[in-house]
Amino acid sequence: MDLELSESELAFQAEARAWLAANVPAEPLPSLDTAEGFVLHQAWEAKLAAERWSVVSWPKEYHGREASLVEWIIFEEEYYRAGAPLRVSQNGIFLLAPIIFEHGTPEQQDRFLPSMATGERVWAQCWSEPEAGSDLASLKSSARRVSTSSTTGESGWVLNGQKIWCSRAALAQWGFGLFRSDPEAQKHAGLTYFLFPLDAEGVTVRPIAQLDGEEGFAEVFFDDVFVPDTDVLGAPGDGWRVAMSTAGNERGLSLRSPGRFTAAADRLLALYDERPDPRVADRVVDAWLKAEAYRLYTWGTVTKLKDGGDIGAAGSVNKVWWSELDVALHETALDLLGPDAELESRWLDGYTFSLSGPIYAGTNEIQRNIVAERILGLPREPKGVQK
């Protein structure tokens, strides 16, 4: 058992560190949920992609470096340690790309992956509906088969309905989501995974301001939107299985690498040095300690995956931990800031963002049920009333 990096991993780390030190913007970019910030973040993605740092684990033909899982974690640690910008393309590269690699056709891979890697096309996640949040399989937005479109002559599907809490949708170019393609099928069956441009005819995007006043998400209305067969991901009717592989990614390793929290814990310690307050000291220690636990836990996960294991329900353990750590870490920073805490600052932005963690990607209540039922083996709650 060891935590030692190999020569080549150390070389990779040194290269990433040097490049980031030379290229990370000196001043934080404006929020990626503003029109100005969005474009600047896209430009940053393009810069990353030019030197093959935007999607290090991807194949070389799609701007990647074919980095190993260990190298990917190393890169993420360096990325956040360097104070680099948030990833405007994260929905695409972390949530959609693994699905395109696994379920997409070669044609879809060639068509969608390069522009995702360069940040040229940013993707919005369109999953939730007003009546389907944590109970995602109860979604009602529909897809109806059409043999030939009246406008293009292609065969495909017509989408109708409404999606909500679509992150990045206010500014993104394309979206991905599940639609009910077979109303007769059982709840989880009969769903199909679609990709669609957000400026397509019949799509209306209505931005929604978040707690921080910025339009980080939107509701999206579909009124007879035509999607060709070539933009269906996976087999029609197989959308649930396809989507669940992204949910695992989101809760597990791919979206919240430990570097984010270890870097934030380091900044919290620096803040403590500027404004020491013994009444908050223990919480500063706990934030550092929990970030450190998460870092080490992740190496354990990496070992399991390298040995051919599966994360499975442990992704839910992970998600509860990082999301609650993120909130606690930022709350602690605000307490150190005292009366200044209410003023606009990077800590306040981080705090507001952290509040979404226990809600998105499946609420922490859902995650705790998964831990209890699938890991501890506790009995399922009796079924509620089905409408």
Partner 1 sequence: MKFELTTDQQDFAASLDSLLAAADTVAAARGWAAGDHAAGLKLWERLAEQGLTMLATEASPVEVCVAFEALGRHAVPGPWVEAAAYLPVALGAEVEGVATVAMPRALDADVADAVYAVVGDTLHTATAGKAHTSVDRSRHLFDVTPGDAVEHGDLAAAYDLAVLATAAQLLGAGERVLADAVTYVKQRKQFGREIGSYQAIKHKLADVRIALDFARPLVLGAALDPTPRAVSAAKVACADAAYLASRTGLQVHGAIGYTQEFDLSVWITKIRALVTAWGTPAAHRARILETLRSA
Selected catalytic residue, list 76, 250, 292, 365: 250
* DSSP 8-state assignment for residue 238: B
Q: How far is the CB of 335 from partner 1 (least distance, A)?
A: 15
Answer for which of 132, 320, 329, 348 binds partner 1 (CB under 8 A) is 320
Query: Phi/psi class of residue 66: alpha, beta or left (left: φ > 0; alpha: ψ in -120 to 50)?
Result: left
Q: How far is the CB of 315 from partner 1 (least distance, A)?
A: 12
For position 146 contacting partner 1 by CB under 8 A, the verdict is: no
For position 369 contacting partner 1 by CB under 8 A, the verdict is: yes
Cα 371 to Cα 90, 297, 301, 383, distances in angstroms: 26, 16, 16, 18
| Residue with Cβ nearer partner 1 (82 or 271) | 271
For position 260 contacting partner 1 by CB under 8 A, the verdict is: no
Tell me the site size for partner 1, rule CB under 8 A: 50
- The footprint of partner 1 on residues 274-303 (CB under 8 A) is 281-282, 284-286, 288-290, 292-294, 296-297, 299-300, 302-303
The position carrying tokens 């507001």 is 352
| Residue with Cβ nearer partner 1 (26 or 270) | 270
- The footprint of partner 1 on residues 66-105 (CB under 8 A) is 70
Q: What is the biggest distance separating any 2 CA atoms in the chain, rounded to whole angstroms?
A: 71
What CA–CA distance (Å, rounded) separates 245 from 241? Answer: 7
Q: How far is the CB of 375 from partner 1 (least distance, A)?
A: 6
* DSSP 8-state assignment for residue 95: I
For position 53 contacting partner 1 by CB under 8 A, the verdict is: no
| Residue with Cβ nearer partner 1 (145 or 368) | 368
Answer for which of 106, 183, 308, 377 binds partner 1 (CB under 8 A) is 377
| Residue with Cβ nearer partner 1 (54 or 301) | 301
Q: Which stretch binds partner 1 (CB under 8 A): 10-18, 114-122, 128-136, 364-372?
A: 364-372
**Cβ atoms 259, 79 nearer than 8 A:** yes
Q: How far is the CB of 340 from partner 1 (least distance, A)?
A: 22
* DSSP 8-state assignment for residue 129: B
| Residue with Cβ nearer partner 1 (128 or 316) | 316
* DSSP 8-state assignment for residue 132: B
What CA–CA distance (Å, rounded) separates 208 from 254? Answer: 26
Q: How far is the CB of 337 from partner 1 (least distance, A)?
A: 18
Cα 212 to Cα 31, 217, 354, distances in angstroms: 11, 12, 12
What CA–CA distance (Å, rounded) separates 257 from 199? Answer: 32
Please say if 324 is a catalytic residue.
no
CA geometry: angle 258, 260, 264, nearest 5 deg: 120
| Residue with Cβ nearer partner 1 (101 or 299) | 299
- Token couple for 251: 């809760």
* DSSP 8-state assignment for residue 371: I
Binding flags for partner 1, 9-38, as an x/- string (CB under 8 A): x-----------------------------
Q: How far is the CB of 48 from partner 1 (least distance, A)?
A: 25
Among the listed residues 276, 381, 255, 379, the one whose alpha carbon sits nearest the alpha carbon of residue 335:
276
**Cβ atoms 370, 311 nearer than 8 A:** no
Count CB neighbours of 359 within 10 A. Answer: 14
* DSSP 8-state assignment for residue 375: I
Query: Phi/psi class of residue 48: alpha, beta or left (left: φ > 0; alpha: ψ in -120 to 50)?
Result: alpha
| Residue with Cβ nearer partner 1 (221 or 297) | 297
Q: How far is the CB of 154 from partner 1 (least distance, A)?
A: 47
Q: Which residues bind partner 1 (CB under 8 A)?
A: 1-6, 9, 70, 269, 272-273, 281-282, 284-286, 288-290, 292-294, 296-297, 299-300, 302-304, 306-307, 314, 317, 320-321, 365, 367-369, 371-373, 375-382
- Residues acting as catalytic residues: 250
